[in-house]
Amino acid sequence: MTASRSFDWDLILDRLTAFYHRGDWRVPYLRNHAENPFQVLVGTILSQRTRDANTDKASARLFAQYPGPRELAKAPKSALEKLIHSTGYYRTKARHIRATSQAILDRFGGQVPADRELLLTLPGVGPKTANCVLVFGYGLPAVPVDTHVHRIANRLGLVRTRTPEQTEREIVRRVPVEYWIPLNPVLVQHGQNICRPVGPRCPDCPIRELCATGVALRAGRTPPRKEDRPRLKRARTHRSGQSASPPARRRR
Ligand code: SF4
C-alpha cells in the first residue's frame, strides 16, 4: 500500500457487512432495537458503561412494563431502579430516564425531538445518545461515536484524536454524509468481535489492507507511519441531524 490510496468507504462497509453476515458474531444492541425513537433514547442511556447483554435484558424488562414516556415519567423510582439494576449506575440512569420522560411530555408533546440541539437539552443525553436517536430512531444522518468507533477510526488512520468528541468532529468533516448512517453499527460490531480494545485480531480482519494499523503490522512496524495512512477525501460539509430526507447509502 502506498500513500496514494484513499479511504474506499463502499469497500470497507461491504467487506465488513459480508464478513459479519456469515458466522455467529456478537450483534450491537441498537442493530436489533432501532425504529422507536423513545426506546432508542432510553436504551442508549441504559447502555452507558455496561455490556450489551445487560442493556438488552434490562430494556426488555423495562419496556414490557413502561413502554413510553407517559408510563416511565410516572414509574415509581424503586421499581425503575430494580428493573435496570443490572446495567450499573442504576440510580443516576433511573433519575435521567424519569426526568427525560417528563421533559418529553412537558416540552415536546410526548414526541422525542428529531433535532440534535433539542435532544442535548434532555437530562442524561450527550452527543452519542443524541446521534443514536437521530440515526436509529429517525434515520437521519449523524455520527454516534462510542469507544469502538473512536478506537477503530484511529487504528484505521482516519483520525488522530484523543476523545470520542474530537473523533465525531473529524468524521463529520472527513467522511461523506452518505456513509454516516451505516458507519456506527458496522464499526461497533467490528469492535466487539475482531478490532477489540485489547488484542485486535488483525490477521483475521477483512479490511486489514485498508487499515493503517493492519498495513504497518504486515510491514513489521508499529505504530503506523504517515505513509501507512490512507489519503483523505474531503467530505461535503453537512450539519448533523438537520436533513429531513437522509441521503443514506443504506440502512442497517
Ligand atoms: S487491521 Fe487490525 S487494527 Fe485494523 S481494523 Fe482490522 S483488526 Fe482493527
- pLDDT tens string 1-11: 333 457 899 99
Decide if pLDDT at 36 tops 80.
yes
Q: Is there a single domain that holds both residue 41 and residue 133? A: yes
Q: Which residues lie closer than 8 Å to 218 by C-beta, 6 or more apart?
A: 208, 209
**What is the average per-residue pLDDT within 146-157?**
95
Digit-coded pLDDT (tens) for 50-98: 887 888 889 999 999 999 999 999 999 999 999 999 999 999 999 999 9
pLDDT at res. 235: 52
Q: How many domains does the chain have?
A: 2
Is 247 part of any domain?
Answer: no
Structural domain including 82 reads 33-138
SS3 42: helix
Is 246 part of any domain?
Answer: no
Ligand 1 center from residue 207 Cα (angstroms): 7
Ligand 1 center from residue 221 Cα (angstroms): 14
Decide if pLDDT at 241 tops 90.
no
Confidence (pTM): 0.85
Q: Are 81 and 90 in contact, with CB atoms under 8 Å apart? A: yes
Residue of 7, 25, 202 best suited for mutating to test ligand 1, as the one with most atoms within 8 Å of CB: 202
Q: How far is CA 46 from the centre of its chain?
A: 14
End residue of a domain, out of 138, 172, 207:
138
Length reported for the chain: 252
Is 245 part of any domain?
Answer: no
Q: Quote the radius of gyration of the chain (alpha carbons, Å).
A: 19
